[in-house]
Amino acid sequence: MSSTHGDSHKADDTAHLGAGPTDISDPLVRYEARKAFVWIGMAALLALVVFLSQSLLVIFGGIVLAALIDGGARLIGRVLPIGRSWRVALVLLSALLFVFWLGKFAGSQITQQAAELPATIESQFHRALGWLQQHGMDVKVGDVRSIAKDAMGGIGQVTAALGGLFGALTTLFLILVLGIYMAMEPLLYRRGVGWMLPLARRDRFEATSQVMGQALRRLLFGRVIGMTVEGVFTWAMLQFYGVPMAALLGLITGLLAFLPNIGAPISGAIMVLVGFSVSSQMGLYTIGVYAIIHLIDGYLIAPFIARKTVDLPPALVLAAQLIMGVLFGILGLALADPLVAMIKIWLEREAAYNNGEPVEQITDIKIS
């Protein structure tokens, strides 16, 4: 009884204290304060995303790898009626065998050719200097040395970038582990993310995530096809004409084909430099090979990917690659294209939902 009496006295004392600093009596001020807190919360969330951007990019890299593995498992499922775990294991085993073959049989040849590439590029600088002097260009020795120094600095930066790539084993390992786990049970992780959303938005998230997953699988499938076609075509054409380092140039072309807009000019420039290091005829031949590769990529592979996934403006992709490359290096450059595609799909579907327009639905959510 005394406890109840004491509690009532405390309540009376609290009531006599009056309004506190967080009590807002004016409805308009209270409404504006709530809006301010929402903006503050959004700013804090944005700061958290920026702070965790590296980790989020690694997670997205795992999602991209999982979509690639999942696409391979689905293709195998059309031929072999076996369980999903076995099909995922077959995809991983195939990738492992390819890496083993590349290192065992082609590794020594490519390593030898890679050692010759810097010397070839350096000789091309000397040939360019001689050509300028023959045509009456007033080129000073100091300028040439400065250009050579900058060029060697650029080569050193590329070497440092490659060293950083090989040194980032932890990041690659995390992406690999995340990708395998997500590919094994994609429905589990998708439902886990949906469970954290309000009930009213779960169906919308489920439908959007399915469309995004399908588009991502097709996008990556198109990239793999393009890498294979361009790499093998480059190697065959250069090997046929006797261009030095044909295997290395084919590998570089195939790997850089994953980067739209940026990869082709880089691989083409290296190819042309190697060609002109032998003769003018071979240099012109490598220009022709690059032109054919560019036509194949621009008029066959890229339209096929855009038709099956999402059509992305080249300028938008290039801008995203430049920004992501500056912020996150090679990993950001590689993931810029799929990230922009996923963001575009999400924004288009959200706009369609909000406007009451019909949106694409995938009714078959079975993960087999």
Find the domain containing 60 and state its range: 54-354
Once rounded to an integer, what is the mean pLDDT over residues 146-175? Answer: 53
Counting the structural domains of the chain, the total is 1
Once rounded to an integer, what is the mean pLDDT over residues 278-300? Answer: 85
Q: Which among 142-156, 237-251, 347-361 has the top mean pLDDT?
A: 237-251
> Which pLDDT value is given to residue 363?
43
Phi/psi for 336 (5° steps) reads: -65, -45
252 is written with which tokens? 């570089």
Tell me, yes or no, whether 173 lies in a domain.
yes
Sign of the torsion formed by the C-alpha atoms of 138, 143, 148 and 150? negative
> Which pLDDT value is given to residue 154?
40
Q: State pLDDT tens for residues 109-144.
A: 666 666 666 667 666 666 666 666 666 666 554 555
Once rounded to an integer, what is the mean pLDDT over residues 199-206? Answer: 84
> Which pLDDT value is given to residue 49?
72
**Pairwise CA distance, residues 119 & 24, whole Å:** 75
Q: State pLDDT tens for residues 339-365.
A: 998 988 888 888 877 777 666 655 444
pLDDT band for 163, please (50, 70, 90 cuts): very low
> Which pLDDT value is given to residue 246?
84
Tell me, yes or no, whether 261 lies in a domain.
yes
> Which pLDDT value is given to residue 91?
92
Tell me, yes or no, whether 28 lies in a domain.
no
pLDDT band for 67, please (50, 70, 90 cuts): very high
Q: What percent of the chain has pLDDT over 90?
A: 10
- The structure's pTM equals 0.71
| 222 contacts 301 by C-beta, under 8 angstroms | yes
Tell me, yes or no, whether 260 lies in a domain.
yes
Tell me, yes or no, whether 266 lies in a domain.
yes
Q: Between 359 and 191, where is the model more confident?
A: 191
Once rounded to an integer, what is the mean pLDDT over residues 280-296? Answer: 88
**Pairwise CA distance, residues 178 & 232, whole Å:** 30
DSSP 236-263: HHHHHHT-TTHHHHHHHHHHHTTSTTTH
Residue with tokens 């590998």: 251
> Which pLDDT value is given to residue 10?
47
- What is the pLDDT of the chain when averaged over all its residues? 76
pLDDT band for 160, please (50, 70, 90 cuts): very low
**Pairwise CA distance, residues 193 & 190, whole Å:** 5
Cβ neighbours of residue 272 closer than 8 Å, sequence gap 6 or more? 283, 286, 287, 290
> Which pLDDT value is given to residue 125?
65
70 is written with which tokens? 């999942």
Q: Where are the alpha helices (DSSP H) in the chain?
A: 2-16, 27-51, 53-77, 84-104, 107-134, 141-167, 169-184, 186-195, 199-241, 246-256, 263-278, 280-296, 302-308, 314-354
Greatest Cα pair distance in the chain: 110
**Pairwise CA distance, residues 175 & 335, whole Å:** 12
**Pairwise CA distance, residues 352 & 368, whole Å:** 30
With 90 as the cut, is the pLDDT of residue 241 above it?
Answer: no
> Which pLDDT value is given to residue 168?
62
Q: State pLDDT tens for residues 2-46.
A: 555 555 554 455 445 444 455 566 677 777 777 788 788 888 877
Once rounded to an integer, what is the mean pLDDT over residues 57-72? Answer: 91
pLDDT band for 236, please (50, 70, 90 cuts): very high
Q: Between 120 and 235, where is the model more confident?
A: 235
With 50 as the cut, is the pLDDT of residue 165 above it?
Answer: no
pLDDT band for 293, please (50, 70, 90 cuts): confident
Cβ neighbours of residue 305 closer than 8 Å, sequence gap 6 or more? 218, 219, 222, 223, 226
> Which pLDDT value is given to residue 68?
92
> Which pLDDT value is given to residue 166?
45
With 60 as the cut, is the pLDDT of residue 216 above it?
Answer: yes
With 50 as the cut, is the pLDDT of residue 167 above it?
Answer: no
Tell me, yes or no, whether 23 lies in a domain.
no
Tell me, yes or no, whether 76 lies in a domain.
yes
pLDDT band for 158, please (50, 70, 90 cuts): very low
With 70 as the cut, is the pLDDT of residue 204 above it?
Answer: yes
Tell me, yes or no, whether 330 lies in a domain.
yes
